[in-house]
């Protein structure tokens, strides 16, 4: 963390980031509860709003630069955009089908899968402490998904929802690896990469929205007196705006916080998210689930500490820390929140 950064500024940025990420998760969940048949259209609106707001921000400040559309650049960024939107789709479907407090458990394999994908792509050997951290997080995941007689049938996650969570985590891991190779095509600008990612992801969704007939479903719902369209409309607007704010918050956090500070804020957000999920949506919290969340958090925090210690050893790596949540969906979270402006990360944490 920079020496000239005041504690008050750090606290402000971290608080801003936590609030934006929490709003993303819970508003997304509320909309998906009311309109479960419109997940892709909902995601498309989020991404489109973020693109519009990025244009608006570029009009008022030179800090936000909209890249020029070049076909060659679009081709080079196709892999990261494709992986990102597939991850967001699985992320959205997972959040739709599980309780808000269980969401971080369902996506608990993000860290182990990221380590595995990075290992395969770089052909490097992780340290023993990194392996211990990955094993701890994996154990926490299996603790949380283990069948329990104390969980009512309606609150038991389906096998399909866990599959969604696994693939969401897997594509977040691929996205994390692809970011490094994609940034040079955007002048190493996270803002430009966020713009390309959101615009490309929105365009990618259009044919699938048509194929699923979600436009027709929306038309039917509009004429259904039992459907509350205000939740869908305002939810899309709020998540689009907060997804954009998450992008800004993520970029700010790169400048004023350290990876350790960011991970501790993510851990605190996870606890708050669990408590709010139980309170707002009457989620079921068991000893197994609470223990699972605790083990996943401790394993992730241990990993962050290990990487901080390892990177401090000479020679120091000449690399720029990238907050993956600021580049992925913000409904998602810690590793990438459910909007790909990304969208947390850690959320797409």
Residues of the chain with pLDDT under 50: 1-3, 316-349
Q: How many domains does the chain have?
A: 1
CB 123 within 8 A of CB 152: no
> In which domain, by residue range, is 103 found?
7-321
**Does residue 288 contact residue 144 with C-beta atoms inside 8 Å?**
yes
Give me the pLDDT at residue 346, please.
33
Q: Please tell me the predicted confidence (pLDDT) of residue 16.
A: 82
For the stretch 68-108, pLDDT in tens is 889 999 999 999 999 999 999 999 999 999 998 899 899 88
- Which pLDDT belongs to residue 212? 94
Specify if 172 maps to a domain.
Answer: yes
What's the full length of the chain, in residues?
349
Residue 180, in any domain of the structure: yes
**What is the per-residue pLDDT for 306?**
87
Residue 341 lies in a domain: no
Domain for residue 327, yes or no?
no
Residue 111: predicted pLDDT: 87
Q: Could you tell me if residue 346 is inside a domain?
A: no
| Domain assignment of residue 316, yes or no | yes
Residue 259: the pLDDT is 57
CA dihedral 33, 273, 341, 31 (to 10 degrees): 10
Using left for φ > 0, alpha for ψ between -120 and 50, and beta otherwise, residue 345 falls in left
Contacts of 13 (CB under 8 A, 6+ apart): 249, 252, 253, 256, 257
The residue assigned the tokens 């693939």 is 167
Contact between 64 and 191 under an 8 Å Cβ cutoff? The reply is: yes
Q: Is residue 340 part of a domain?
A: no
Q: Is residue 149 part of a domain?
A: yes
Q: What is the pTM of this model?
A: 0.83
């Amino acid at each position: 963390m920079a020496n000239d950064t005041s504690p008050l500024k750090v606290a402000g940025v971290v608080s801003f980031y936590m609030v934006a990420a929490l709003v993303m998760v819970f508003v997304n969940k509320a909309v998906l509860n009311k309109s479960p048949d419109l997940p892709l259209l909902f995601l498309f609106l989020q991404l489109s709003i973020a693109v519009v707001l990025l244009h608006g921000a570029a009009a008022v400040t030179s800090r936000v630069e909209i890249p020029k559309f070049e076909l060659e650049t679009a081709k080079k960024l196709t892999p990261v955009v494709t992986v990102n939107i597939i991850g967001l789709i699985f992320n959205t479907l997972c959040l739709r089908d599980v309780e808000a407090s269980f969401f971080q458990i369902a996506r608990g394999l993000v860290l182990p899968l990221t380590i595995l994908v990075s290992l395969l792509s770089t052909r490097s050997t992780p340290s023993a402490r990194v392996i211990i951290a990955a094993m701890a997080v994996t154990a926490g995941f299996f603790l949380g998904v283990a069948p329990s007689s104390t969980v009512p049938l309606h609150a038991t996650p389906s096998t399909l929802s866990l599959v969604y969570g696994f693939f969401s985590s897997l594509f977040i891991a691929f996205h994390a690896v692809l970011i490094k190779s994609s940034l040079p095509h955007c002048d190493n600008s996270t803002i430009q990469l966020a713009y390309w990612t959101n615009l490309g992801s929105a365009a990618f969704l259009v044919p699938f929205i048509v194929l699923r007939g979600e436009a027709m479903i929306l038309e039917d719902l509009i004429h259904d007196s039992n459907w509350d369209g205000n939740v869908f409309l305002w939810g899309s607007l709020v998540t689009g705006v907060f997804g954009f704010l998450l992008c800004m918050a993520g970029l700010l956090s790169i400048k004023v916080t350290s990876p350790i500070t960011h991970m501790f804020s993510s851990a605190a957000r996870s606890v708050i998210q669990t408590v709010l999920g139980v309170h707002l949506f009457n989620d079921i919290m068991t000893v197994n689930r609470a223990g699972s969340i605790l083990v996943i958090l401790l394993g992730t925090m241990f990993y962050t500490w290990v990487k901080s210690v390892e990177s401090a050893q000479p020679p120091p790596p000449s690399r720029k820390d990238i907050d993956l949540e600021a580049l992925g969906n913000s409904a998602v979270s810690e590793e990438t929140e459910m909007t790909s402006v990304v969208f947390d990360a850690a959320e797409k944490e």
